[in-house]
């Protein structure tokens, strides 16, 4: 936990709560000016997404890639600089119609109290790419 406020896990939990409510202005206010989301390059919306508005843009791309997508957050924890979200993403393929679930860990690093980067780790990116 930092000496000057909430822990990275607590900060990340607030960002995910706001993102779930689609309060993108509040999310952006909690992101560093040089914020980057790093999605696995092998998935349809993979790569580096930069800027304070990166989270709403990558979320829109992720939801657009699937016929249906649902997020279930299991746990959020954190240390000194990093917070980690463990979640399930259930997706329905537009191509095959198959619904499948991936466990994902999203690791966020904070700098000066703001989310500086978010690294997304899927359990099986080959399955995601094949269904997309």
Residue 16's domain is classified under what CATH number? 3.10.450.50
38's CB contacts (< 8 A; 6+ apart) are 47, 48, 49, 117, 118, 119, 120
Which range marks the domain in which residue 91 is found? Answer: 8-131
The domain tally of the chain equals: 1
pLDDT at 91: 97
Position 1 pLDDT exceeds 50 = no
pLDDT > 70: percent of the chain:
98
* 40-63 average pLDDT score: 96
In a domain? residue 1: no
In a domain? residue 2: no
Task: Quote the tokens at residue 110.
Answer: 């904070």
Give me the chain's average pLDDT, please: 95
- For residues 30 and 48, what is the distance between their CA atoms, to the nearest angstrom? 19
In a domain? residue 62: yes
* 106-117 average pLDDT score: 97
In a domain? residue 3: no
Tell me, what DSSP letter sits at residue 7?
-
In a domain? residue 35: yes
Contact 122, 43 (CB under 8 A): yes
What predicted TM-score, i.e. pTM, was given to this entire model? 0.91
pLDDT at 5: 87
Q: What are phi and psi of 45, to 5 degrees?
A: -110, 30
In a domain? residue 96: yes
In a domain? residue 28: yes
In a domain? residue 112: yes
Task: Quote the tokens at residue 4.
Answer: 């000057």
């Amino acid at each position: 936990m930092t000496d000057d406020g909430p822990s990275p896990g607590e900060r990340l939990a607030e960002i995910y709560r706001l993102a779930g409510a689609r309060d993108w202005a509040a999310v952006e206010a909690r992101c560093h000016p040089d914020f980057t989301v790093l999605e696995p390059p092998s998935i349809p919306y993979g790569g580096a997404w930069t800027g304070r508005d990166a989270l709403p843009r990558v979320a829109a791309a992720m939801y657009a890639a699937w016929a249906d997508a649902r997020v279930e957050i299991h746990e959020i924890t954190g240390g000194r600089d990093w917070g980690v979200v463990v979640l399930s993403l259930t997706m329905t393929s537009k191509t095959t119609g198959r619904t499948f679930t991936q466990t994902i860990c999203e690791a966020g690093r904070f700098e000066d109290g703001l989310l500086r980067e978010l690294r997304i780790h899927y359990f099986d990116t080959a399955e995601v790419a094949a269904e997309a």
